[in-house]
Amino acid sequence: MHDERRRIEERVQRAHDQRIKPAVYAATVPFEVAAWQAPGEPVSFEEAAAARYEPFAMNTPWGPPWGTTWFRMRGEVPAEWAGRRVEAVIDLGFVGDWPGNQAEALVHLADGRPLKAVNPLNQYVPIANPAAGGERIDYLVEAASNPDILKDDFSRPTPMGDRLTAGSAPLYTFRRADLAVLDEEVFHLDLDLQVLRELMVHLADHEPRRHEILHALDRAMDALDLDDVAGSAAAVREVLAPVLAKPAHASAHTISGVGHAHIDSAWLWPIRETKRKTSRTFSNVTALADEYDDFIFACSQAQQYEWVRDHYPQVWARIQESVKKGQWAPVGGMWVEADGNLPGGEAIARQLVHGKRFFIEHFGVETKGVWLPDSFGYTAAYPQLAKLAGNDWFLTQKISWNQTNKFPHHTFWWEGIDGTRIFTHFPPVDTYNARFSGEEMDRAVRNYAEKGGGTRSLAPFGWGDGGGGPTREIMERARRLADLEGSPKVVIEHPDDFFAQARAEYPDAPVWVGELYLELHRATYTSQARTKQGNRRSEHKLREAELWATTAALHAPGYSYPYDRLDRLWKTVLLHQFHDILPGSSIAWVHREAEAEYARVAEELEALTAEAVAALGAGGTRVFNTSPFDRAEVVRTSEGALAYVEVPANGSAPLADAEPARPVRAEGRVLDNGLVRVEVAEDGTLSSVYDLRAGREVLGDKGNLLRLHTDLPNYWDAWDIDKHYNNRYTDLLEPTSVELVSDDPLLGAIRVTRSFGKGSTITQTVTLRAGSPRIDFETDIDWHEAEKILKAAFPVDVRAAHSSAEIQFGHVQRPTHTNTSWEAARFEVSGHRWVHVGEPGYGVAVVNDSTYGHDVSRTVREDGGTTTTVRLSLVRAPRIPDPEADQGRHRFTYALLPGASIEETVAEGYSLNLPLRVADAAGAPEPVVSVEGSGVTVEAVKLADDGSGDVVVRLYESGGGRAQGVLRTGFPLAGAQVTDLLERPLEDAAVEEGGVPVSLRPFQVLTLRLRRG
């Protein structure tokens, strides 16, 4: 047989694109359109309905950046269309086919009821089927003119990322607003051809099925009347029916399709626009559910549901009805799809608590899985936290973006730092925006790594990132692929059902231990430093407010625990942990608002804490310690004086000078407190840090070396740092001044100032306090660089086989060598409050109060010794998507901690992030809880969320070993229970001699509910 593939394929493509596709709508009449441009921010439907509208013609430019234009569309269904399927078809002037980053609109009836959204591949609104002739149509359409931030493929900075800089020129040209008749036979022919063509081209040339489809398509084109597509469509479909009816092979892979519409809670648009995106997408989804009984839609992020509930009650009611019918599946169980690395341990717990409670309260549904497809790597603490929140499975997708190594599994058991395992799936379709294209189906089968063990995978389908969701075209594809030879079988089902079946058929799935590190987007540990600092400080201020509010509730008559205020503030912080806000990968508008929100949160939490402390009574000055460790350190009073105080963990003490063992001696460029001696060189680096206790030099080279690197990644500027950044740099070794600024016996300080680059300055105060080996670097940067990253290096004289970095409720160890490609790919990693390196008998830590990104490497010196270098990433200067990212002032502190064990490092991490509070309070209550025994660390102290007055305490083992201790209470204890994260009882806890014995495995998290006597 002659090879005619090219002729036939080109014939089919042209006939489809130029004849069949345009014939989907058989007849049209235009709407009469008028427009009103809303001033400023979006307005309510009521305000828009009362506005004055001006006539508007098609092909007219409209829509300034971030503007809202309301269109009134009126029309009448022609009488001759009676009995046919009539739709409104609206084209706002869409650019490309992605609905998330351009013009979008929500169509309302004249009475305000939202009907459905329109976007590039979902331009229709059903009218009636059958339609009554003469029916009058009256719509109000809220159209958002959001700019295309992805224009030019992220190749250049744009001012469009903030309404303050975007200008006012119209962005779009309105193309179409019609009433139209949908020719359902042509519509289905269109889908038949698409599915068969795409299946065919992804079958191998030697497959008979490919040629069978090819020649069936050729015969179908013979049956097509090019002058009467509608009249011949049924005949064409009849020719294709036999090849569409052939069933899949018995061993065909099964793809569980789950409707999805990933909506970034902010990214290339501000939060206010996400609120509207949810209404648009959820309107589409509920409309699709009405049309397709077999449709199931999975949707996470309780925050987005709450926005719809509060702002679009009619859409909310439709969602509730879809949940009842089983077509809408709340999933994920988190407040938002948070970043997977940066939120603190308690914050991830609260993400799960607030999310799951929302779904239980409003839908009677307890979610069973963590749905987190698009975060930039996943902490090894997740398996335990997910299980403690009552979850059975975990879903992710982003690891498919790895730059270097292909992740070896798709269905596996993920084991966390404490040993907890959770059943995990990583869809081989390699997208969470599937459309059931032939290419996607082929990729899913080829990629699937579990062949021979498992037979099924999951595919989230529907337009996403900016919303949009599934379409009827995608549903029609799924129906055709349900049982089709040459293709995997597609079944639409609830993700819980998929995970149950996958686990049943593959119980001995392989195990992946530790973090799911994404070999890409490593700069998200550093970009937008002020946003990250706001998150870190908010987390610690929330801890502080809860502890002292609990103390006041227990000991101060008349004090009322601020449940509602704390709940609201937690939700604000949780929202901003979304995986494009906290990582620093959003437009300028998002981060400008985030910084303002963090300032407001800090102010309110400060007030809450002050109210709680004041409720304990006035009459004396006390020092309050929110840390879970006893502290003896120097504190600055409200008058600015220095004092050395000793304060118990989670408690307070009078402001009374204690005596440190040795005073600080400060002279020239040398600080010495009897524990360590610090020498600052003329170039402002540390020339020596001598540990007087151990009798050894700590440094292997210049300490606190500030290095400015060129930082232009290959792509995704705010997200990525590529390995070549390390090849070009400037060491900042020419200070403007180095001067002794404090020689107080309690505190010695040397200030180093530098100017560099494009007008940037940095002032660092090197501080050594009495009684502590910790050396602080209080840093003030005025940053004006572009496409640079600033790092601070501490080369220490230890031969460390690995580094230990704090993560949520524990730490992870990473090799300091690069024997394998997996290790080499971890050239930039994340950590929380500290990084520790050590050799047997001696360790050194670098502690911080707001940074996350770092790298650790080692070299062998000429003398045979090994230098292990820890470098903190301080600040970046990406220009896309925010051209002014990180510009301006930054204030933070990091510290070097010589001679430190892991336990001492953990304590200093808390200490640096939770400064002692000096306040007027006469009350001297016992700490709410205290722990006898080491390794048991208190992470949270609060009153139970149910208002019962019970005290809830979250503990964890922080050193990586076994821990035993006794939890003591500062109030009469009547009983104790072990609970899950949602404070639901799991088992009774023993109470012995007024305390609760605690035994923890390495990194175990334990939540106790304490009943007051």
Catalytic residues: 374
- Strand-pair category, 369-371 with 393-395: parallel
**CA nearest 502: which of 454, 444, 459, 460?**
454
The CA-based diameter of the chain, rounded to the nearest angstrom, is 101
SS3 state at 679: strand
Whether the Cβ atoms of residue 869 and residue 145 lie closer than 8 Å to each other:
no
Geometric angle at alpha carbon 118, from 188 and 96, rounded to 5°: 80
Q: Any idea what DSSP says for residue 454?
A: B
**CA nearest 338: which of 594, 601, 587, 574?**
574
Distance CA 850, CA 894 (A): 8
Please report, to the nearest 10 degrees, the dihedral formed by the alpha carbons of residues 715, 719, 720, 725 taken in order. 110
DSSP letters along 228-287, please? -HHHHHHHHHHHHHHHHHPPPPTT--EEEEEE---B-SSSSS-HHHHHHHHHHHHHHHHH
Distance CA 62, CA 35 (A): 9
Distance CA 296, CA 256 (A): 11
How many C-beta neighbours within 10 Å does residue 787 have? 16
DSSP letters along 523-564, please? GGGTSSHHHHHHHHHHHHHHHHHHHHHHHHHHHSTT----HH
Whether the Cβ atoms of residue 606 and residue 569 lie closer than 8 Å to each other:
no
Whether the Cβ atoms of residue 730 and residue 707 lie closer than 8 Å to each other:
yes
What is the distance in angstroms between the CA of the first residue and the CA of the last residue of the chain?
91
**CA nearest 150: which of 670, 715, 917?**
715
Helices (H), 855-901: none
Number of helices (H), then strands (E), in the chain? 18, 55
Helices (H), 809-901: 821-824
**CA nearest 308: which of 283, 333, 285, 287?**
283
Six token digits for residue 366? 């307890």
**CA nearest 834: which of 901, 788, 888?**
901
Six token digits for residue 318? 């439709």
Contacts of 322 (CB under 8 A, 6+ apart): 285, 286, 289, 297, 328
Distance CA 159, CA 153 (A): 15
Whether the Cβ atoms of residue 352 and residue 386 lie closer than 8 Å to each other:
yes
- How far is CA 719 from each of CA 713, 784, 877, 912, rounded to the nearest angstrom? 9, 19, 11, 28
